[in-house]
Structure 1
């Protein structure tokens, strides 16, 4: 019988108060019971007790670039964002032909493994060519889980058919017509390969399964025109798709949009054609275009002003910011993360999610570490931080059976081994403090 009962010190459902000494019963990847006392009908199922452990809904990474997961260390930042971008492009171009394809495939595989082993369950991956849907493989089974058929059955009870989901988001740009034709053709191929979403609903928040949506990413204002963004947001309305775009990531980007300032202006010179050069748009134009998306994620959004944040607040049901705390810290060594105005943004009603960006700007792909970084932000509660990686993205993206722990939801849980006692005054913040790491729950299910 593919059923398992898990007993943990704490269960954080994100729908009600945390449950001490709680039980979770899963059958083929779906929660059948959650509560303090195990009902008699489950007394005969396999039981695993996990002392010094807390359970959370599976973590969601709302913004990532797996293709750079072959990097051992982030690319150093020396004060110029566009110079850093150029270093990233050089890294991407180091290999050619079959070597490039194999290198990219291995990087994606490494990123999936790293993300899964640090407790992530769904990851939104911005992709460029070369890329293949065959690269989205389930993470390897840890050795301790392959020790017996019984453990395999229990693993299936918790995870069902899949332990990890990747939503590919092909990147497009039209800085030059030929480049635009090339990236748009790539995006269309990806969409054909991924197929149409099943069970498409009439509302972006009424999906019934973890079925990856079709998604698209116009890259950034200095490579993607406002018209390109509007074309894709119109496409998203027709296809109930997701549009993800880098916006307001750096000071240089904001200065270039305002007055075509250096150093971005010179850096673009040899890449853009006259059609792109003649276009002039503001950050307001780009945000307004994103607000037209069926679903939208603004990656980073570090420098959005009050009026733009007010607009985002009014559209929080379908557009959010994916904040990447450690990437922000990487590019802002002169500013303490304590100065990041996240608390003020949340009070305004602007929805924020959590992303890791990539190994080009981050030492690893742990969403949990991003959440712990936000403990330094003033005025943020632990529950708000945890919701940004669970309940909030699931609600935005219409993952109705994910993001919280409840009967009928998926049992793809993230487990937090505890290194101390949780303090009741702010138990969520305490969890982030004494939970040093996050892991997939099934990695803790071994023979007893």
Structure 2
């Protein structure tokens, strides 16, 4: 057994605890206590639950800066496609880079949207991260339906492991043949695996669904994949929510433009969560995200980084700092839930997301500077405070400074 004392400990579901000690045995948290003078003192730090990134695309992790133009969604998508075509052989190294980058900044669990099944990549699959791999499928042609559904079945025949669990990701309303969308939902229901779908992401998506036209329709035409007959019937994101609700956990990714009807539906569906990507949203959208309204009516909201195609890095910690700077009145313990227990609930993962007895010992050490040492509820996410240690399943994968000094 090992005991570590910190200036503050954020359990993940309440306010911070002063001079707290956490006791760890093997993978698990055995107990929490106060003022344990015999514990290893980590100094002026905060212990927080390991962070959960509920949406990312690791295959873009080698992009040096967000692709442009971010403010023009229908021009940005072709730039993403072009980058992928220009870098066909870099997916494996990008995934490994993204996994390493994530854990170095306190992430212990990630929900990954994958266009390839990289579980056979020994280097990537040996990551200490827990990963929920959502295999992504898309296509508007009739030929794509059978091919993609066959691929999805093969993917599901190779079950996930304790470390890499699996799910399915129908990409988005504008990129899916209705039969492909239906088939993926049926497979998720049959195999009881979670679903993740980009939905209500942009005004252009809403326009395409409502009218069958607009800039997204023109983009599909330019890409040579347009199927205008598939968009003759007027729809809303609500129509997709109804089908996604098939008795499995569902991630509604982005949800930037969820309307009142969608919100009324979601608040009665505890299996469905919205994943908000704050910095990507701020860079690409002009309207405010409804995340606070969603929380107020009881909808679970988790945080994601999206990818380096739209974000400068994969640091959930920086998403929290971004929100803190914009919403200074929200206590740190409340913001922290978005990237800990809410993420665990969204992914329906047991025993993670909290620092409590009986939970897995996944945690992050945050160095505290200045006023945050005395008042972390208002200062935890101050710009000078950064992750400085990471424990995964009871083992240090990023050693905090205090332990490095003791080991010298």
Do residues 342 (structure 1) and 291 (structure 2) align? yes
Deviation at 1:14, TM superposition (A): 2.1
Alignment of 1:183 with 2:136, yes or no, is: no
Q: Is the Cα contact below 8 Å between 2:15 and 2:377 reproduced in 1?
A: no
1:67 and 1:125 map into 2 onto residues whose CA distance is: 9
TM-score of the superposed pair, with normalisation by structure 1? 0.81
2:264 matched residue in structure 1? 310
Q: CA deviation at 1:37?
A: 4.1
Match of 1:170 among 112, 135, 141: 135
Report the equivalent of 1:252: 204
C-alpha spacing 1:384/1:17, structure 2 compared with 1 (3 Å) = closer
CA distance in 1, matches of 2:43, 2:237: 50
Q: Aligned to 2:23, which of 13, 22, 25?
A: 25
Counterpart in the other structure of 1:284: 238
* Alpha-carbon offset, residue 295 of structure 1: 0.5
Q: Which residue of 1 aligns with 2:349?
A: 399
**Which secondary structure does the structure 2 equivalent of 1:297 belong to?**
strand
Counterpart selection for 2:111 from 114, 124, 127: 124
Q: Is the counterpart of residue 410 in structure 1 residue 364 in structure 2?
A: no
Q: Deviations over 1:165-200 (max 9, x none)?
A: 12211111231133333333333333333x156xxx
Q: 1:265-276 to 2 correspondence within 5 Å? A: 265-269=217-221, 270-273=224-227, 276=230
Question: Using the alignment, how far apart are the partners of 2:342 and 2:160 within structure 1?
Answer: 25
1:343 CA displacement: 2.0
Work out the CA distance in 2 between the residues paired with 1:248 and 1:264.
13
Residue-by-residue CA offset, 1:340-380 (whole Å, 9 max, x unaligned)? 33222211212110000000000000001011111214764
Q: Distance in 2 between matches of 1:293 and 1:278?
A: 29
User: Cα–Cα, structure 1 residues 20 and 341, in superposed 2: closer, same or farther, change >3 Å?
Assistant: same
Aligned residue number for residue 142 of structure 1: none
The answer to whether 1:263 aligns with 2:227 is no
Number of residues paired by the alignment?
A: 393
Q: Secondary structure at the match of 1:34?
A: strand
C-alpha deviations, 1:381-426, integer Å up to 9, x for none? Answer: 433321011111212333221110111211110111111233877x
Report the equivalent of 1:298.
Answer: 252
- Secondary structure at the counterpart of residue 366 of structure 2: strand
Q: Of 199, 219, 232, which residue of structure 1 is paired with 2:171?
A: 219
Contact 1:253–1:264 under 8 Å retained in 2 = yes
Structure 1: tracts of 5 or more residues without a match? 140-162, 198-209
| 1:226/1:280 CA distance change after superposition, 3 Å | farther
Instruction: Check conservation: 2:145, 2:180, Cα contact below 8 A.
Output: no
Give the conservation status (yes or no) of the 8 Å contact 2:316–2:339: yes
Match of 1:241 in 2: 193
Give, in whole Å, the separation in 1 of the partners of 2:266 and 2:48.
Answer: 28
1:126: Cα distance to partner? 0.4
Q: CA RMSD of the aligned region, Å?
A: 2.5
Larger deviation, residues 365-374 vs 288-297 = 288-297
Indicate the residue corresponding to 2:309 in structure 1.
Answer: 360
- Is the Cα contact below 8 Å between 2:171 and 2:198 reproduced in 1? yes
Please tell me whether residue 115 in structure 1 is matched to residue 111 in structure 2: no
Pick which of 390-399 and 223-232 moved more.
Answer: 223-232
Task: State the partner residue of 1:149.
Answer: none
Please give the alpha-carbon distance, in whole angstroms, between the structure 2 residues aligned to 1:224 and 1:381. Answer: 40
What is the Cα deviation at residue 211 of structure 1?
A: 5.5
Match of 2:280 among 327, 336, 341: 327
